[in-house]
Structure 1
Amino acid sequence: MVHKGDLPDPKVKSFEAVKKSSKDPLFIPKVMIFNSIAREIKPFLTLYQTDKPMLPFFSEDLFQLMKGLMGRFFKEEPMKEATTVLKLLHIPLQDSSIHKDATKINLGFSAETCLKQLRSINKVSERQALELRMECKTFLIKLLEKLQNKAPVNQQLVRSMRCLDPRYMAESKEVCLAQMKRILRHLVGANHVEESVCDDILREFREFCDFAALQANFREFEPIRDRLLISVSGARQRYHSYLDDQKRANAKEKGVQKRKALADELDELKKKRARVQNDIGALEKSADEYADKAESSGKLTFITKQTVCVALPKKRRHLFKTLRRKSMRSLLI
């Protein structure tokens, strides 16, 4: 309608992008490719948007995710050799010699079907279809590079946390023990665990792995549904709630102490004001007495003393005003 002049041209970048995309015969397959990849990634992202202690399962889940994405354009041989997440992280993604032929790149079922239909009615040339597959591969490489560079599994400690996966404990005792040793080395190095207790920890962990191997619920453990994770998650929430309560209590206590300090300061200022007021009254009385004596006796010494007694109240009144201002400020606080 904008093209026909029925509606004004908004002249914004977003409209131009939509306008350009609508003219692209491969726009629908591109959306389908993106949707296919997004649907593959979404379960992983959804699973780890949680407060549950999911770190023991992170390494294996990321391994499966990356392997699935790489399988779209990688040959079978390098994928079979990548038996661990560490090996998977070290696969050179840009090495075209281990990539599939461009015609075999997996775009996703819907995108493949749509592309075939477009080819059958000659809306898309073979070259355009090939370019689409190459663009898909480029996108996947960029995505996987981000995962390789940013993923926490690059850290040995994170990979070793898999030893706390109940399924892994029941199936691979020796591997779990080796990973637990690596965890303990990190903890000892960070001064979180004393080296003297590591043997005890390993012995208890070994015994627990033996116990886990005999338990069906360990082998059939499901991280998403397991009540243990829910319980631990609840404990963590309670701990955070406790910390919040402590923070509020500390803030309240500080407020009480501050108010008490201000009240004490105000009382002290009031006492000082009272003393200054008494001093002023006493000096004024003395000045009057010295004036009377000087008048009756005619001695200059009484006049001098009277002058001093008159001058001192002025200074005392200045001090009195200062104390009064401080008292007012304390009341405002």
Structure 2
Amino acid sequence: MMPFLWNDLEDLIRSLLKRFIKRDALPSSPYKLVRLDVTDQKLWLGTKDVDIGMGAAAVIKGLSGAKGRVSELGVLQFKKECQNALSKICKKALDKCPLKYATVHNMMCLDPRKMYSSPDECLQKLKRLIEKFVLDKQLTGGISSGDVISQQFEKALSNEAKSLEFANFQPSVSRVDAFLSQNLSSYTDLWNFCKKLLLLSHGQAEVERGFSINKEVETCNMSEETVVIQRLICDQVKVCGGVTKVPLTKELISYCASARSRYRAHLEEEKKKRETEENSKKRKYVEEDLKELKQKKKSIREICISLENDADRMAEQAESSGGSKMATLITESNSLRRRAKDKHKELIELDAEIENKIVELTKLS
């Protein structure tokens, strides 16, 4: 976890760099160590001195003896390739190394052993973490809340952290979150802040593991609700410590006995839900059709009015005209009136359709 990440990661990176970097070129400060240019060949060891590991060295020694199949030049070439590979691996690791962040360093203040041996240093580191949270607006209550947390931590260092339990804490045996919860839970503000700090290193591993569990419990045509229920069952079994350790309470047995009746009730409920959804869809379609018919009726009525107005205008013009022009105007006027009459028939049909849709909509209500 984060409180131990700084030292462990520094040891790991330093051990890797020692394999191909000169000892005197390695900075003592972790901050400088992660910013070291491992691609600079001036810092590299001689090819013969590259540490490729005891296993690889033993194999090469067996292959490069007096009767060996590998020449000395081949061994040097292999070590050179190993050196290049180590350089690229370390560069990639250092580019994204958490040691670049001060928060990782300051998280050492939650190491129980550090709290016992260096309380003043731990207090300073916690204050830096509080400042970081305040600056990033991640601390509820702001500076005043930070002061309370700092005071509670100082008090905890003076009291609880003096215990030998802190000095003898072993990360490989005990969980630091459980240990701190046991010893710091009485300091409410401090413990809430510690929980946030301990969650910083948590990625999506738990969620991704959950995807794997989902894949195991899934079968064809399984609904989302079934997946959720099966996951809940799996999680509960996991909490209990296994299938054989799940307590068979009277309530659980009774619940299982009535499962069939609840299943039937569920089916009835689902049936009603489907019927309601179907009615809603039908109602929506009818409403859309009704809206479209009303719009069509409005357009046809406007066309009718326009045709009748044009027919009247031409009839008036025919009255003031004579000869062939009068006959032409009367013919056009009559033609427009016939078209208007046809449109009126369409309106009557539309009114009937609209009435039917209204009745259908009423039934679906």
TM-score bucket of the superposed structures, by smaller chain: 0.5 to 0.7
Specify whether residues 206 and 321 from structure 1 end up closer, same or farther in structure 2 by C-alpha distance, changes over 3 A only: same
Structure 1 match to 2:327:
none
Compare relative contact order (CA 8 Å, sep 6+) and give the higher one, 1 or 2: 1
Kept in 2, the 8 Å contact 1:169–1:212? The answer is no
Structure 2 match to 1:179:
125
Structure 2 match to 1:153:
99
Measured in 2, the distance between the counterparts of 1:123 and 1:216 equals 59
Structure 2 match to 1:195:
143
Counterparts of 1:88-99 in structure 2, within 5 Å, are: 88-99=33-44
Cα deviation for residue 206 of structure 1 reads: 2.0
Measured in 2, the distance between the counterparts of 1:159 and 1:326 equals 70
Structure 1 match to 2:354:
319
Specify whether residues 69 and 324 from structure 1 end up closer, same or farther in structure 2 by C-alpha distance, changes over 3 A only: farther
Which one of 55, 78, 90 corresponds to residue 144 of structure 1?
Answer: 90
Specify whether residues 136 and 322 from structure 1 end up closer, same or farther in structure 2 by C-alpha distance, changes over 3 A only: same
Specify whether residues 312 and 57 from structure 1 end up closer, same or farther in structure 2 by C-alpha distance, changes over 3 A only: same
Counterparts of 1:242-253 in structure 2, within 5 Å, are: none
Specify whether residues 183 and 94 from structure 1 end up closer, same or farther in structure 2 by C-alpha distance, changes over 3 A only: same
CA deviation digits over 1:158-203, x for unaligned, max 9? 3322222222222222332222122112211221220122222112
Measured in 1, the distance between the counterparts of 2:21 and 2:346 equals 100
**Structure 1, unaligned runs of 5 or more:** 1-53, 249-255, 274-309
**Structure 2, unaligned runs of 5 or more:** 182-194, 211-224, 229-272, 291-344
Measured in 1, the distance between the counterparts of 2:161 and 2:32 equals 27
Counterparts of 1:1-333 in structure 2, within 5 Å, are: 54-79=1-26, 81-83=27-29, 85-120=30-65, 121-193=67-139, 194-211=142-159, 213-229=161-177, 317-323=352-358
Cα deviation for residue 224 of structure 1 reads: 3.4
Kept in 1, the 8 Å contact 2:39–2:91? The answer is no
Kept in 2, the 8 Å contact 1:170–1:212? The answer is no
Measured in 1, the distance between the counterparts of 2:129 and 2:358 equals 64
Cα deviation for residue 63 of structure 1 reads: 1.0
> Residue 145 of structure 2 aligns to a residue in which SS?
helix
Kept in 2, the 8 Å contact 1:59–1:159? The answer is yes
Q: Specify the code of the residue in structure 2 equivalent to 1:160.
A: N
Kept in 2, the 8 Å contact 1:166–1:212? The answer is no
Alpha-carbon RMSD across the aligned residues, in angstroms, is 4.4
Q: Specify the code of the residue in structure 1 equivalent to 2:21.
A: F
Measured in 1, the distance between the counterparts of 2:114 and 2:9 equals 16
Q: Specify the code of the residue in structure 1 equivalent to 2:31.
A: L
> Residue 63 of structure 1 aligns to a residue in which SS?
helix
Structure 2 match to 1:288:
none
Q: Specify the code of the residue in structure 2 equivalent to 1:202.
A: S
Q: Specify the code of the residue in structure 2 equivalent to 1:82.
A: S
Q: Specify the code of the residue in structure 1 equivalent to 2:82.
A: C
CA deviation digits over 1:178-234, x for unaligned, max 9? 22122112211221220122222112212223345422222232323314546989x
Measured in 1, the distance between the counterparts of 2:153 and 2:348 equals 84
CA deviation digits over 1:46-90, x for unaligned, max 9? xxxxxxxx22222222111101111212233344x424x323212
Q: Specify the code of the residue in structure 2 equivalent to 1:96.
A: Q
Structure 1 match to 2:255:
none
Cα deviation for residue 108 of structure 1 reads: 0.9
> Residue 64 of structure 2 aligns to a residue in which SS?
helix
Specify whether residues 313 and 130 from structure 1 end up closer, same or farther in structure 2 by C-alpha distance, changes over 3 A only: same
TM-score, normalization by structure 2: 0.50
CA deviation digits over 1:122-173, x for unaligned, max 9? 3111111111111111111111111111123322223322222222222222
Specify whether residues 209 and 141 from structure 1 end up closer, same or farther in structure 2 by C-alpha distance, changes over 3 A only: farther
Measured in 2, the distance between the counterparts of 1:197 and 1:115 equals 62
TM-score, normalization by structure 1: 0.54
